[in-house]
Structure 1
């Protein structure tokens, strides 16, 4: 009997240990996760977390801007997310005269809230598992390439058919999104409502919201107040509408209750959000490919670009404001790539993957099923064939597409099409083509030059990027513009860049205006920047074509492989979850410290004392605002302090997060808001490929610090007044 009890206890412990891993589908919570969540500390019924047909916590969690998560914290549409998620909007409203990035912004009444052009917030109304319906459609519809089961265009049509068949009410603001999961083995339909009148309400200065900047990014311990506030507006009837002065704050159907009781070690916590992408079902060859292509290029190419950009940004406040968001976005996954590669080696992830795949292959062999072996061999062959063009494609994307803003020429595709249809010496045809090109350029010219206001910065970046690209790609394989550089400019890429800015019609507003006064097709055909852009486009096309044949059978092989991994887990009694794909998920775990190395222990929380210890007035990353120092010295923390009188700032939990979870609400066992997720730790960056609960942590801003900054630092107590706060 004792032996049986011991085995049962071990089984429960194993199940609990596994519970920390997983980006769970909300529709599967009742069947797969509810019991374990209750065991770990969930105090509310699972229906209050997610319900098919009743209001739940899910209804207060939104997709913010398409790449982050936000949560509704008041009945009048007040939305909390990360500072770095709102960074683009903060930058949009910033200028040298009103530098909200540096100084922060706080609307002291509704009239001061600033509309954010292009920003959207999306609610998830319903989540439907319609796998049988999609599979039935696939059987009767023509699918000559065998890829419809993953085709967004095809799935969009199926979603429309399903909505009509089930009489789902659709409005102009409704969006249907049908996505494949588990490599196309299951399908979920998301019925969504999109709001487009979003206004900025508050943001701390970057010295708080971005404290530690690049040095502390992806690291623990952290002392950053990474949050910002927005408000959702609707028309007078509460319906989504474009911005209008007489729109009103949205009366939401669900907002979160905020708990000031704080956190303790081993407290249960769960997170809801929109994790972007991960790749848990990769074979070892794919992991190596990721390390040597995408991660390699992000590390080395972005590092070179950022060095040039930072030097220019530190010289001029206007340059800093313009490039702030672009730099932050680039630096974020530059450091991610470095940390991921280091972690994959340190944790022996390739060996773990090899052991997993050998286990599945052995399972297939035992059952006399060779489909797993065939799928595995197919994927290995595909990876080998596409390695070289993928490496080149990543070099082009990182060095010449992402890095060069001046290459975003005004509708060059339309101009190229027009030029390609030029009718030889037919002057009438040439006149029509030129007129079409002029219409395109006239329509987009002003917008283009407004988007690249610092040509000298672009010139400096381009010179560095051409050298970086050439350093990784052999001469005979480089994009075609390098033949021009080698012959016309004797291999001097700097001279080519100078010629672009000196002679191209896009090199300066003066050149553009001069061309528009005396346009000619001959000038367009020989324009350096256009030739450069077409060369980049051609290079991307060639690498894509080189991979197209190799990738032809990948999806089918991957589907079989994932199905095998799913079946193997389920046979062992292990719950399953799909790879992240920017859909709403839930993850849960505990507030826990960790030990990244022998003799090193990181506690589970930080305080404002840590920010004061890191302060360096001569380093822009670690400047502490004078008022914050005054509040600290006076210990003027109000009701937001810990029981020992210190001011909490951040904490960590062992949940399974990734990019897209930024801004996610962190709940306690009662379903109350205790923090906002904003980052992961450096040692856990391998989590996109292999989750390690012993070393992976999600960093969160303590809600008490968020409210302290709003109330005591910003003096925006009117915002505190509209929140639903409990002390315990």
Structure 2
């Protein structure tokens, strides 16, 4: 990775010493920041290349082939900007490019020439260029701040200030300050952003989503969860929005594909952008997840999907429009239910409670620690008791706007209107209107793309009926003022407001309310009035939430610091969407008594699932034909006498690792990560060699599908197969 600072100096603080100061010992888990690779024990574990071939500041390494694809990961696999990631990572873009006449979601998409590649709407690419520790600057700004709300405001303001300063020094990058340990350490990341991303090759849905929700988070799997994209830039190499004259991006590094794949017990590693983990949190945090957030969200998403599926059955166009939202909901729902199962099976709350009690005794045993941290554990408990008390209200506010699309539209219109009214004079107002109206419509188009009035009414009714039943400290003032006689009346009111609003018709909104500045200024209806009243109450509630967040920020900084002293080691920081490495082996496991899951599945197993008659196990007939003819080409695994489809391994992954390249000991691409086993959904809170298994698509299956099924031989040629 080439790392440059102002004046052309290399980022020397990343060379010999870690900017994060983590443990030198090998942990039993780990999503290692790049600076820690020399402490991870990679060579001892089986890495055959030099660690500097992966990451070496100032030089090109494997990390330069890594990209973040919106909320997923991916990697360059050719010198001309070709990227491999997951089918489900490109899903929303494929949906937006599809229509009932050209349903690429169902039938797949193959661009045999560059001219045939189409815009992947909504997808952006980020490439990590460099990073540096800025903890001292941020924490120095709050050393004398005692008010929790002021503390978190200053920290957030300082993070934004540092990022803005970095972007001013180098206008070609996007900067972001990430919190590595809550309240303790902060790192400034420099990113290159690519806005023009195009679809190149996406397998049909019965390959890329084989098994559907039945197999989601389950092993054994037989899913061809892969897609190919291409990154484009302006002719001068700068970032540019989608344009015909743009040219393929030329990465500093691309991964070599090894079509021979891997065997059981082989060493493998992953580079990627894991989302968020929460392993360095106290027992009360886990209890909040188990008692409140996980059951509430999974049950709500289940209800939402039922409503969308009912409406989608009546109209294929509506079903296509709602497909991405349904898929995301279903994914989260099953993930959360897996977490609940894992929390209960591990009795993690009790385990964490015992750990925290041992930590409290450690603090009490040492006068120096007692003087500084004597009230720490009691303060943490007091914080979470307040969180528990208001959890129903918090969860309702956190979901109401995302649940009802028209509320998000109303929110956007109201904020735009307020921005206009803040301007001095009609001329200034008209300038702001003209400058932002196209961007506003583009944003609204995204919301209306998955909007359906019947769905909004059914889900909105449910949300208002739930709110009516909140009581005591969670009771919303809005519902008290309305004095609804019953939950049914509360639901009826919301339905009536949605039906009467002009916002439920996009064309009417654009032709009347957004026709000109005066029409916008004059517009009001019951939906906007309701939004204002709810939002005023939410802002008051959020002010208290921010005060608590500031308090927690300080407490968690102390909690991690004293826990590191207690355990006599420094921790690997929780995942936070920054570039990490994890390593392990191709390995099966025993999820239950008297069972063993081997780490490879095959096309034979795919066909066997197809015999069940379930719609989610339907597959292209061409797969069966090729298999019966033993038309495996060079992609068969000899000991299986079949093409391996998916692989299982004991690496430490979580959300955001979707699309991460799986590499062998020589740094060659042998698969693409896409999921975890059901028991491993608990990874966000705890990792274990016994049950933490992740799932990837074997590169041999990717190549076989491209070659023998989809006639996409150009992909193989471009990757140098």
CA RMSD of aligned residues (A): 3.7
State the partner residue of 1:331: 330
Given the alignment of the two structures, is residue 93 of structure 1 paired with residue 97 of structure 2, yes or no? Answer: yes
User: Which digits, 9 at most, give the CA deviation of each residue in 1:153-174, with x for residues without a partner?
Assistant: 312323555788xxxx72x431
Partner in structure 1 of residue 529 of structure 2: 531
Q: Write the mapping of 1:1-40 to structure 2, written as runs, cut at 5 A.
A: 19-30=27-38, 32-33=39-40, 36-40=41-45
1:613 shift after superposition: 1.5
Q: Which residue of 2 aligns with 1:633?
A: 628
Q: Are residues 686 and 470 of structure 1, via their aligned partners in 2, closer, same or farther at CA, if it must alter by over 3 Å?
A: farther
Q: How does 1:454-533 map to 2 (within 5 A)?
A: 454-470=452-468, 477-478=475-476, 480=478, 484=482, 486=484, 491-508=488-505, 525=524, 527-533=525-531
Offset of residue 714 of structure 1:
1.0
Q: Deviations over 1:317-346 (max 9, x none)?
A: 211210111111111111111111121111
Which deviates more from structure 2 when the two are superposed, residues 49-58 or residues 438-447? 438-447
Instruction: Give me the whole-angstrom Cα distance separating, in 1, the residues matched to 2:344 and 2:85.
Output: 33
Secondary structure at the aligned position of 1:600 is classed as coil
- Equivalent-residue separation in structure 2 for 1:140 and 1:55 (angstroms): 43
Match of 1:606 in 2: 601
SS at match of 2:63: helix
- What SS does structure 2 have at the residue aligned with 1:232? strand
Q: Go from structure 1 to structure 2 and tell me whether the alpha carbon gap of 1:144 and 1:692 turns closer, same or farther (over 3 Å shift).
A: closer
Helix, strand or coil for the counterpart of 2:667?
coil
**Structure 1 residues 635 and 593, CA gap change in structure 2 (3 angstroms):** same
Deviation per CA, 1:429-449, whole angstroms, max 9, x where unpaired?
Answer: 99x999999999999679469
Deviations 1:26-58 (A, max 9, x none): 11111x21xx22122111111011111211111
Query: Could you give the per-residue CA deviations for residues 72-110 of structure 1, whole angstroms, max 9, x where no partner exists?
Result: 111111001111111111111011011011000010100
Q: Distance in 1 between matches of 2:689 and 2:32?
A: 16
2:89 aligns to what SS in structure 1? coil
Over 3 Å counting, the alpha-carbon distance change for 1:477 and 1:457 in structure 2 is same
Correspondence for 2:413: 412
1:210-239: per-residue Cα shift (whole Å, max 9, x none)? 111112111111111111110011222333
- Is residue 583 of structure 2 the alignment partner of residue 588 of structure 1? yes
Work out the number of aligned pairs and report it.
Answer: 691
2:379 counterpart residue number = 378
Q: Corresponding residue for 1:9?
A: none
Deviation at 1:389, TM superposition (A): 2.5
Deviates more, 1:295-304 or 1:155-164: 155-164
The one-character-per-residue Cα deviations of 1:250-272 (angstroms, maximum 9, x if unpaired) are: 22110001112222222111111
Range moving further from structure 2, 495-504 or 278-287:
495-504
Residue 63 of structure 2 corresponds to 58
Of the structure 1 ranges 273-282 and 624-633, higher mean CA displacement relative to structure 2 is found in 624-633
- Deviation, structure 1 residue 150: 7.6
Cα deviation for residue 362 of structure 1 reads 2.8
Q: Deviations over 1:173-216 (max 9, x none)?
A: 31222223222433322222111111110111111111111121
Matched, 1:682 2:682: no
In the alignment, does 2:436 pair up with 1:396? no
Q: List runs of 5+ in structure 2 lacking aligned partners.
A: 1-22
Report the 3-state secondary structure (helix = DSSP H, G, I; strand = E; otherwise coil) of the residue aligned with 1:226: coil
Q: Distance in 1 between matches of 2:656 and 2:439?
A: 35
1:353 is paired with a residue of what secondary structure? helix
Match of 2:565 among 557, 564, 567: 567
Aligned counterparts of 1:258 and 1:586: Cα–Cα separation in 2:
19
Within 2, Cα distance between the matches of 1:435 and 1:246?
A: 30
Which SS does the other structure have where 2:390 is aligned? helix
Distance verdict in 2 for CA 1:669–1:677, change over 3 Å: same
**Residues 159 and 405 of structure 1: is their aligned pair in 2 closer, same or farther, counting only changes over 3 Å?**
closer
Tell me if structure 1 keeps the 8 A contact 2:148–2:547. no
Q: Quick one: which of 63, 69, 76 aligns to 1:72? A: 76
* Residue 231 in structure 1 maps to residue 212 in structure 2: no
**Cα distance in 1 between the residues matched to 2:275 and 2:707:** 33
Query: What's the counterpart of residue 14 of structure 2?
Result: none
Cα drift, residue 561 of structure 1: 0.4
| Equivalent pair of 2:202/2:227 in contact (CA under 8 Å) | yes
Aligned partners of 1:389 and 1:546 also within 8 Å: no
Aligned to 2:127: 123
**CA pair 611-490 structure 1, distance change in 2 beyond 3 A:** closer
State the distance in 2 between where 1:309 and 1:484 align.
Answer: 29
Describe the superposition over 1:273-293 as per-residue Cα deviations: whole angstroms up to 9, x where unpaired: 111111111111111012222
Q: Are 1:660 and 2:659 an aligned pair?
A: no
- SS of the equivalent of 2:192 reads strand
Of 49, 53, 67, which residue of structure 1 is paired with 2:54?
49
Q: Is the 8 A contact 2:279 2:686 kept in 1?
A: yes
C-alpha change, 1:436 and 1:291, in structure 2 (3 Å) is same
Kindly indicate whether residue 690 of structure 2 is the aligned counterpart of residue 694 of structure 1. yes
TM-score (norm. length: structure 1):
0.86
- Contact 1:640/1:704, CA 8 A, preserved across alignment: yes
Match of 1:253 in 2: 252
Report the more deviating stretch, 469-478 or 122-131: 469-478
| 2: CA distance, partners of 1:515 / 1:261 | 60
Mapped partners of 2:133, 2:689: distance in 1:
29
Match of 1:722 among 692, 699, 718: 718
Q: Distance in 2 between matches of 1:227 and 1:693?
A: 27
CA contact (8 A) 1:256 1:724 kept: no
Q: Distance in 2 between matches of 1:705 and 1:257?
A: 16
Structure-to-structure mapping, 1:2-401, within 5 angstroms: 19-30=27-38, 32-33=39-40, 36-65=41-70, 67-131=71-135, 147=151, 151-159=155-163, 170=170, 172-368=171-367, 369-370=369-370, 371-398=372-399, 400-401=400-401
Asked if 1 retains the 8 angstrom alpha-carbon contact of 2:141 and 2:155, the reply is no
Q: Distance in 1 between matches of 2:373 and 2:31?
A: 25
Q: Are the counterparts in 2 of residues 655 and 698 from structure 1 also a CA contact under 8 Å?
A: yes
CA distance in 1, matches of 2:579, 2:687: 19
